[in-house]
Amino acid sequence: MAAIKLHVLKPSVNNMAARVFVRAAKLDFTEDDVYGKTRSKEFLAMNPAHMTPMMEAKGLPKGVMWESCAIMQYLCNKHELSKFYPVAPAKRAMIDSAMFYLIGTLYPYVARATYPALGFPQYAGEVGASNLDAAHKSEAQNAAMAAVAEPLDVFHKFYMDGKPFIGGAKPSIADIRLAATLEFLAVVDYQLPGWAKTYMAAMEKSLGKAYAEPAADVRGYISYVKSQKK
């Protein structure tokens, strides 16, 4: 039996990050597609947060864990994968900062901008999940789309700062998380700045099939969603 079982939803970029990582790191893993099962009694018994990606692995205190960045951090620690997650505290701090900034700031904007088009449920308390009319919802979606530009620029100017990747010459786990996130913006035809297009291409070139295979699932879903709108 493989050491790692990843429970995944293939159209999701949160999942894509972990899926790219286990491939790029050449870890021993299997994948279980849990579409339609995350709220089942069995799944909730393991994971009351019903979140994917969820990793099942021996040695974890509860047998499972979720949160894509934490999964990548744990696997890097366990398998000493310093090429994806530097060990020196100051360098590691930058990778952690980039990932927290992504999850806490960029991702909520990306979700509000893209989830309506992806047909994903929006978060409680947000305009998109409310009973407000379509005009209000579209205004909120456009505001979120406009807000994406600032954190994107921060990734470029602060975290990358002239280097090809946040990780330097090679992609780090923060790069895997960022590139996967940006994949969703295609569903709203978001015009990525030139540097981001170059960056995405460099990610795919550097990681090869490890990136392309999970990306194909996300891109396939986006193409399907777009074809339904025509």
Ligand X SMILES: N[C@@H](CCC(=O)N[C@@H](CS)C(=O)NCC(=O)O)C(=O)O
> According to the binding rule CB under 6 A, does residue 51 interact with ligand X?
yes
Class of residue 194 by CB neighbours under 10 A (exposed 0-12, middle 13-18, buried 19+)? exposed
> According to the binding rule CB under 6 A, does residue 38 interact with ligand X?
yes
Nearer to ligand X by Cβ, of 9 and 222: the residue is 9
**Residue 169 CB, nearest approach to ligand X (Å):** 26
Decide: helix, strand or coil at residue 5: strand
Nearer to ligand X by Cβ, of 66 and 101: the residue is 66
**Which alpha helices (DSSP H) does 57-133 contain, by range?**
68-79, 89-101, 107-118
Stretch that binds ligand X, among 65-73, 92-100, 152-160, 220-228 (CB under 6 A): 65-73
Nearer to ligand X by Cβ, of 103 and 145: the residue is 103
> According to the binding rule CB under 6 A, does residue 127 interact with ligand X?
no
Nearer to ligand X by Cβ, of 42 and 133: the residue is 42
Rounded Cα distance between 113 and 107, Å, is 10
> According to the binding rule CB under 6 A, does residue 52 interact with ligand X?
yes
Strand partners, 56: 5, 64
Indicate if the alpha-carbon torsion angle 150, 215, 74, 112 is positive or negative: positive
Nearer to ligand X by Cβ, of 12 and 172: the residue is 12
Nearer to ligand X by Cβ, of 105 and 164: the residue is 105
> According to the binding rule CB under 6 A, does residue 73 interact with ligand X?
no
Rounded Cα distance between 167 and 176, Å, is 10
Class of residue 125 by CB neighbours under 10 A (exposed 0-12, middle 13-18, buried 19+)? exposed
User: For tokens 């699932």, what's the residue?
Assistant: 217
Beta strands at 64-66 and 54-57: parallel, antiparallel or unpaired: antiparallel
> According to the binding rule CB under 6 A, does residue 105 interact with ligand X?
no
> According to the binding rule CB under 6 A, does residue 126 interact with ligand X?
no
Residues in contact with ligand X by CB under 6 A are: 9, 12, 14, 38-39, 50-53, 66-68, 103
